A and B are shown apart, each in its own frame.
Chain A
Amino acid sequence: MIETSGEEYSAQNAPPLTPEIAFAEGVRDAIANLQSSDLSLRYYAAWWLGKFRVSQPEAIDALITALEDEADRTELGGYPLRRNAARALGKLGNLKAVPSLIKCLECADFYVREAAAQSLAMLGDKTALPALIKLLDGGVDQAVQVPGLPHLTQPYTAVLEALGAMGATEAISLVQPFLNHPVPRLQCSAARAMYQLTQDSAYGELLVKTLVTGDLKMRRVVLGDLGAIGYLPAAAAIASAQVENSFKLIALKGLLEYQLPEQSDTFGISEQAIQVMNLMDSLL
């Protein structure tokens, strides 16, 4: 009796991979690849785990280890793998990553600090607040361009947005001076955070004003800010802004979500929510 070889078997008779099996193999490969000798595979694997929200403990642990990677360096001394690992950990929702991300706020690489601040904001763990606040040391005077590089000394935008999102009212006096920072983007981040920390509509109105006066790129950014803080009085200004409809829809979606109660299956729809939806309908 002639047995079929393993090769023939797998080629002809094996069941096709289901998406679930293919995905499980992808997860396994990605976790393994974080240790690969090929640095580009490591870099890709860290991104992949975040992109596909792979939140199993092995992935978290491997990514936390990658935050201390020394192998992958850029010409300027940056840490590409650490950046991707920090970004991924923000998406995975596991607070185990918080202490290591806090450590990343002191990394020499600006982009690692930025990614860590953004991810800490997403994780929302208040133990990160002192370390985030520390990045504002020196205030507006220290917040200057690094010579020859396209960024400031610290990732101020990410820090201000994190403080606002995490409700760090103790930082109000440190955030407020950034309303007068010469970089318009930072003024907006400060206004956004100040609104979240005080609920004072004056800060929401600062953003609305920029929606009219800023250039196109700035207007898109401000739409993101207004959506993120759910500033309802901006609804009409958003709908009539000179920006592509896709950006306006996302901003109004942010406003709408603030009008809907947490418990999704039982929510009623308020008059305000209906008004926002009417505006969204008009932008389709």
Chain B
Amino acid sequence: MDELIRAVTVAETPSQLVTAVKNLAAAKDPSAIPALIAVFGYNNPEAAIVAAAALTELGEIAVPQLLEQIDDYNYGARAYSIRTIAAIADPRALDILISTAKTDFAPSVRRAAIKGLGNLHWHQLEISEAETAINRVLEALLLICEDTDWSIRYAAVVGLQALAKVAIVQPPILAKFQLMLTNETEKAVRARVQLAYSQ
């Protein structure tokens, strides 16, 4: 393992890096988690995608370190972290996803968090906890539907559509969609509402 990790840190060319990350990913070993997360900061999209897929496959076990190692100073790296966290869908990520969805300055990072919020694995929580969490997500997504950036509103619709699988929050979500069909100024976002509504 140490050798595989070392290969990632000493890679000198982009293609060496990609190969080293692929080898590390193939080991499917939790001790690779910090090195895989670090790859998000190397500004190499191909390597980052391999690392993100590997971390997603490792799943829940990677979540604590993903949450701890979010790079507050590099939004490219942060976007990969948030996407990975969203893909694993562990509800322990709830707080970070909500604050990212609401306040991150990078739209790409916000969109990833917003989409992820709708898809969390609620069944991993106690029933009472799940209910509180679902309501917090609902509240956050409804607020985000008012954002000035169309792509953020689009992501919020995608998030709400996923959240609507939870029966208790379906009525307010459908009501919001109805309202957006009338009030939403962007045709593309309205179309996405219509698609969500029809499913």
A interface vs B, CB < 8 Å? 242, 244-246, 249-250, 253, 256-257, 260, 264-265, 267, 269, 273-274, 277, 280-281, 284
Which of B114, B154, B194 touches A280 (beta carbons < 8 Å)?
B154
Q: A246-B108, A277-B195 are in contact. Are A284 and B187 (CB under 8 A)?
A: no
Is B66 an interface residue when CB atoms closer than 8 A count as contact? no
Further contacts, 10 of them, CB under 8 A, given A260-B187, A269-B198, A284-B154: A242-B45, A253-B150, A264-B187, A265-B182, A267-B194, A269-B194, A269-B195, A274-B195, A280-B192, A281-B158
Assess whether A284 is in contact with B158, with CB atoms less than 8 Å apart.
yes
Q: A242-B45, A246-B151, A269-B198 are in contact. Are A256 and B111 (CB under 8 A)?
A: no
Assess whether B191 is in contact with A256, with CB atoms less than 8 Å apart.
yes
Residue numbers in B under 8 Å from A245 (CB-CB): 108, 111
Closest approach, in angstroms, between the C-beta of A244 and any C-beta of chain B? 7
Q: A246-B151, A277-B195, A281-B158 are in contact. Are A253 and B188 (CB under 8 A)?
A: yes
- A–B complex contacts, Cβ < 8 Å, 9 sampled: A246-B151, A249-B154, A253-B151, A253-B188, A256-B191, A264-B190, A265-B181, A273-B195, A281-B158
- State in angstroms the CA–CA spacing of A244 and B43 once bound together: 12
- State in angstroms the CA–CA spacing of A284 and B194 once bound together: 18
Is B155 an interface residue when CB atoms closer than 8 A count as contact? yes
Tally A-B pairs: CB < 8 A: 48
- State in angstroms the CA–CA spacing of A3 and B71 once bound together: 61
Assess whether A284 is in contact with B107, with CB atoms less than 8 Å apart.
no
- State in angstroms the CA–CA spacing of A274 and B192 once bound together: 8
Q: A246-B107, A246-B151, A284-B115 are in contact. Are A257 and B194 (CB under 8 A)?
A: no
Assess whether B150 is in contact with A284, with CB atoms less than 8 Å apart.
no
> Which residues of chain B (133-181) have a CB below 8 Å from chain A?
150-151, 154-155, 158, 181
Assess whether B191 is in contact with A269, with CB atoms less than 8 Å apart.
yes
Is B112 an interface residue when CB atoms closer than 8 A count as contact? yes
Interface of A is mostly: helix
Assess whether A257 is in contact with B195, with CB atoms less than 8 Å apart.
no
Interface of B is mostly: helix
- State in angstroms the CA–CA spacing of A214 and B198 once bound together: 39
Residue numbers in B under 8 Å from A277 (CB-CB): 191-192, 195
Residue numbers in A under 8 Å from B194 (CB-CB): 267, 269
Residue numbers in A under 8 Å from B150 (CB-CB): 253
- State in angstroms the CA–CA spacing of A131 and B188 once bound together: 35
Residue numbers in A under 8 Å from B198 (CB-CB): 269
Which of B112, B151, B181, B188 touches A257 (beta carbons < 8 Å)?
B188
Residue numbers in A under 8 Å from B115 (CB-CB): 281, 284
- Most chain A CB within 10 A, of B45, B182, B188, B190, is at B188
- State in angstroms the CA–CA spacing of A258 and B133 once bound together: 39
Residue numbers in A under 8 Å from B107 (CB-CB): 246
Residue numbers in B under 8 Å from A284 (CB-CB): 111-112, 114-115, 154-155, 158
- State in angstroms the CA–CA spacing of A264 and B184 once bound together: 10
- State in angstroms the CA–CA spacing of A277 and B158 once bound together: 10
Closest approach, in angstroms, between the C-beta of B15 and any C-beta of chain A? 15
Residue numbers in B under 8 Å from A257 (CB-CB): 187-188
- State in angstroms the CA–CA spacing of A265 and B191 once bound together: 10
Closest approach, in angstroms, between the C-beta of A274 and any C-beta of chain B? 6
Closest approach, in angstroms, between the C-beta of A74 and any C-beta of chain B? 34
Which of A249, A250, A260 touches B191 (beta carbons < 8 Å)?
A260
- State in angstroms the CA–CA spacing of A264 and B198 once bound together: 16
Residue numbers in A under 8 Å from B191 (CB-CB): 256, 260, 267, 269, 273, 277
